[in-house]
Structure 1
Amino acid sequence: MIETLIDRIASGDLAPGAMLPSEGDLGAELGVSQGTARKALMDLERRGIVRRRQGVGTFVTARTPESALFHFFRLRNPDGSHAAPALEEENVRRRRSLRDEREALFGKPDHVFEIERVRSVDGSRLVHEVSVVPAALFPGLSERSPLPNTLYVLYQHAYSIAIVQANERIRAVSGKPEVCARLRVAAGQPLLRVDRTATDLSNRTVELRTSHFVTEEHCYAVALT
């Protein structure tokens, strides 16, 4: 049942923000008990695919700029509040994929879009990002530049690709000269490197992202639940 609902959401049959049938109606439609339907919806809610409003109903999660930003952008101000990034520079280009990109991304794409961005917080350049996505899944992406601050909202609304999970590896590195130049810091300055693999509703790897953060006055916060 869960797979059926995910397929309907991924196909666009159940669009972002759409209200799902009641547990009883959903169970009858799919040929399962109301209890089974309830458990499936609870699991989808836990995974962030749907949201339930008491006394109202269950809705397909729709990423808004604010929800996507604060869910996936984890840089925090010294007082612990969310840091709101602004776009400083952007370059979007279509190119042939590298071997490790072909192996990791859905469809083993021969071509990808590379999105390089520099983002600032309160006027200071703090983030250098390089995101790589399969060209076949994001047709015309380069023509949309400049892209919105929150890429995952664009992915969902323009391409029906909803990011539901991002796995990250974090390590401290000495900044390479080209990255430090874009961030306007001294070459070799310690930076926080975050390598992200993002998957969508259908468990497809649709984005690889490498980010470098200046964290002298800010921190990269992760909440464990």
Structure 2
Amino acid sequence: MTETIATFSPLYQQIKALILGSLQAGEWKPGEAIPSENDLATRFKVSQGTVRKAIDELASENLLVRRQGKGTFVATHHEDRVHFRFLRLVPDNGEPHYPKSTILDCKRLRAPAEIARLLDLKSGDAVIQIERILYFSSEATVYEEIWLPGTTFKGLSVERLVEWRGPMYALFETEFGTHMVRATERLRAVAADELSAKHLGVEQNTPLLAVERVSYTYGERPVEVRKAVYLTASHHYLNELN
């Protein structure tokens, strides 16, 4: 297959797009090293400096990871540093830490209209719905519903989720070939309804933080909708702005 470079954007951006295309096609798997800058420069017939600038930008976007003396690797959700890109709940006291979770349910449904729209599906297409509770320091802190495209996550079950020991995104990456590369979130203050109060062990109308996330894989393809409520009595949502 012949690789071509468009002429309407800066050269390093064109190289970045080609590298992204290789990532999307699975040429280099999460956690694997990509070819050296020199090899990529030869492959794309550009200077090593142009390749370096493209890789620098991909690294700043957390798609690639540079390791001193070892090379450049595809980012993976198995790395601790990646976990906290998508987990912004931080304890008021102490260091950020990954929570333990309890899976309440995992079932296959027909997509409600809103979920279908957010996942770029047709209303009624198959989706997977997961319900779980996240515990920070043994305290129920997050109750969430997670919606996934049924065709992409075919075979996902409660048993598989319970067996998995690690972040859910690492499971999606390893067993379903879906690597989350970015997400958008919307936040608002809400009062606990009957269901969230029950799962979080609080009174109805307790103040909560509602977070709706849409996560994307390569090619800007939405592959997850997450609707969660956070109990922030001893935690806060941290976002670093650059």
| 1:149, distance to aligned residue in structure 2 (A) | 4.8
1:150 aligns with 2:167: yes
1:39 aligns with 2:39: no
Could you tell me which runs of 5 or more consecutive residues in structure 1 were left unpaired when the two chains were aligned. none
Could you tell me which runs of 5 or more consecutive residues in structure 2 were left unpaired when the two chains were aligned. 1-14
1:25 aligns with 2:39: yes
**After TM superposition, what 4+ stretches of structure 1 lie above 3 angstroms from structure 2?**
106-109
2:27 maps to: 13
The 5-angstrom pairing of residues 102-121 of structure 1 reads 102-108=116-122, 110-121=125-136
| 1:155, distance to aligned residue in structure 2 (A) | 1.3
| 1:108, distance to aligned residue in structure 2 (A) | 4.0
Q: SS at 1:52's partner residue?
A: strand
Q: SS at 2:216's partner residue?
A: strand
| 1:65, distance to aligned residue in structure 2 (A) | 5.8
Question: Which stretch shows the higher mean deviation, 128-137 or 24-33?
Answer: 24-33
Q: SS at 1:194's partner residue?
A: strand
2:204 maps to: 187
Please, what is the CA RMSD of the aligned residues? Answer: 1.8
Q: 1:99 to 1:161 in 2, by over 3 A?
A: same
| 1:30, distance to aligned residue in structure 2 (A) | 2.0
Percent of residue pairs bearing the same amino acid type: 32
**Structure 1 residues 135-164: Cα deviation after superposition (integer angstroms, max 9, x where no partner):** 111111125232555211111111221111
Distance, in Å, in 2 between the alignment partners of 1:164 and 1:211 is 20
1:98 maps to: 112
Output the TM-score relative to the length of structure 2.
0.86
Question: Which stretch shows the higher mean deviation, 145-154 or 88-97?
Answer: 145-154
Distance, in Å, in 2 between the alignment partners of 1:53 and 1:223 is 23
1:115 maps to amino acid: I
**Structure 1 residues 82-120: Cα deviation after superposition (integer angstroms, max 9, x where no partner):** 143111342111100011221221454711101110111
**Equivalent of 1:66, from 67, 80, 86?**
80
2:70 maps to: 56
Q: 1:152 to 1:145 in 2, by over 3 A?
A: closer
| 1:3, distance to aligned residue in structure 2 (A) | 2.4
1:127 maps to: 142
Distance, in Å, in 2 between the alignment partners of 1:17 and 1:84 is 20
2:6 maps to: none
Q: Could you tell me whether the CA contact under 8 Å between 2:134 and 2:140 is conserved in 1?
A: yes
1:210 aligns with 2:227: yes
Distance, in Å, in 2 between the alignment partners of 1:133 and 1:88 is 18
Output the TM-score relative to the length of structure 1.
0.92
Distance, in Å, in 1 between the alignment partners of 2:132 and 2:59 is 32
**Structure 1 residues 157-185: Cα deviation after superposition (integer angstroms, max 9, x where no partner):** 11221111111111110111111111111
Distance, in Å, in 1 between the alignment partners of 2:211 and 2:91 is 18
Q: Could you tell me whether the CA contact under 8 Å between 1:87 and 1:149 is conserved in 2?
A: no
Q: 1:148 to 1:114 in 2, by over 3 A?
A: farther
Q: Could you tell me whether the CA contact under 8 Å between 2:83 and 2:167 is conserved in 1?
A: yes
Larger RCO of the pair (alpha carbons < 8 Å, separation 6+): 1
Q: Could you tell me whether the CA contact under 8 Å between 2:104 and 2:130 is conserved in 1?
A: yes
Q: 1:95 to 1:134 in 2, by over 3 A?
A: same
2:220 maps to amino acid: N
2:16 maps to: 2
Q: SS at 1:202's partner residue?
A: helix
Distance, in Å, in 2 between the alignment partners of 1:18 and 1:169 is 33
